[in-house]
Structure 1
């Protein structure tokens, strides 16, 4: 699976895998948390590479993470993964398979696009309005950290849609989502005394990967524009 990976990608996955395994044994972490973190890391690095195979790992990660989030009272995160991310993995498989590059050696590279100024305005307006509305819903059902949870969920939904449509700017939103999610889990784990610290490793790995993904997808879109 690592054929054609860059040195950065190999180091990235090796370092965060080692940290995950250490935390699993050192802090008596849950096996489900380890599985969720590992499959999540494989998923996002494959997205950054524009590989369709990311969706297979995404199916496992979305299902396990939805359950873990529910146990910590992060209902926004749980609903996002169970009701949105999980079914959309199958949609992504279909859409990306329809938009492969003609010169792809592996048959898994897809055509990357870029947002227009009008597209950005729509993204910002929808994000603000939806975040306020969803925060009210989470508060009404007794959710924890509803403001952070709401913004993270709404930006995640928008970023996922941009990902399915193959827009490079998805990664800017993923960077924001990852920062918010790290803050969310620090608060949740500290307040509840939970031991799923692999979730923190996963989101930190996601943050590194989202920066790399943005750089890589911008390169891909420029190269495809020339060709």
Structure 2
């Protein structure tokens, strides 16, 4: 596991107002996603804008860059969800085919190794492969969520499990706590979306 733990000493920034606001926005965002409300997207865009600054200052550069990706994909998701709402205003969700699921797993693993190697070689990022795992799994989860696939929650559950100890090591205790809440809500989201999915 040495490739996961390679990194710099933990940076412990003071708990700041920006992190508190980002956490509150994140909680609102995930609750709205579970409810399949398109209003999750403006909350998400505001949250990732703040987390770009937080992760940049913590030298988690893959996570910081990920926030830019999130902003773009959330804009796409906002548009996509508006076009796929049911009459009652909730978004229609669906199941990912088995082959597509396998492709997503393989693509995620390849992206983690490739991005982790790049960041470890060319930047001073902390814990390059660990950070890359959070980033690349989040990319896959965000794409699956924007495309309304139930399986997006599988990726978010894994992201939350590996993010919590990383953020504790970096001194981002409030953010680690947020991801603990995210973990519980991701499980709830999986249950809710499976009940609501459109079956062929």
Question: Is the TM-score greater than 0.5?
Answer: yes
Give the equivalent residue in structure 1 for 2:106: 125
Give the equivalent residue in structure 1 for 2:3: none
Question: 1:28 and 1:188, CA in 2 relative to 1: closer, same or farther beyond 3 A?
Answer: closer
Picking from 197, 204, 226, the partner of 2:173 is 197
1: CA distance, partners of 2:44 / 2:105: 26
Q: Could you tell me whether the CA contact under 8 Å between 1:40 and 1:57 is conserved in 2? A: yes
| Structure 1: stretches of 5+ with no match in the other structure | 1-26, 190-195
Q: What TM-score does the superposition give when structure 1 sets the normalisation length? A: 0.79
Give the equivalent residue in structure 2 for 1:62: 48
Question: 1:147 and 1:28, CA in 2 relative to 1: closer, same or farther beyond 3 A?
Answer: closer
Picking from 76, 81, 85, the partner of 1:100 is 85
1: CA distance, partners of 2:71 / 2:78: 12
Total equivalences in the alignment: 187
2: CA distance, partners of 1:34 / 1:126: 34
Q: What TM-score does the superposition give when structure 2 sets the normalisation length? A: 0.90
1: CA distance, partners of 2:189 / 2:16: 29
Instruction: Please give the per-residue CA displacement for 1:190-218, whole angstroms capped at 9, x wherever unaligned.
Output: xxxxxx42211211111111000000000
Picking from 174, 191, 200, the partner of 1:215 is 191
CA RMSD of aligned residues (A): 1.5
Picking from 152, 157, 177, the partner of 1:170 is 152
Q: Could you tell me whether the CA contact under 8 Å between 2:165 and 2:176 is conserved in 1? A: no
| Structure 2: stretches of 5+ with no match in the other structure | 1-12
Give the equivalent residue in structure 1 for 2:6: none
2: CA distance, partners of 1:198 / 1:37: 8
Instruction: Please give the per-residue CA displacement for 1:74-111, whole angstroms capped at 9, x wherever unaligned.
Output: 00100000x20112221111010000113x1xx2x111
Give the equivalent residue in structure 2 for 1:181: 163
Q: Could you tell me whether the CA contact under 8 Å between 2:74 and 2:146 is conserved in 1? A: no
- The structure with the largest alpha-carbon Rg is 1
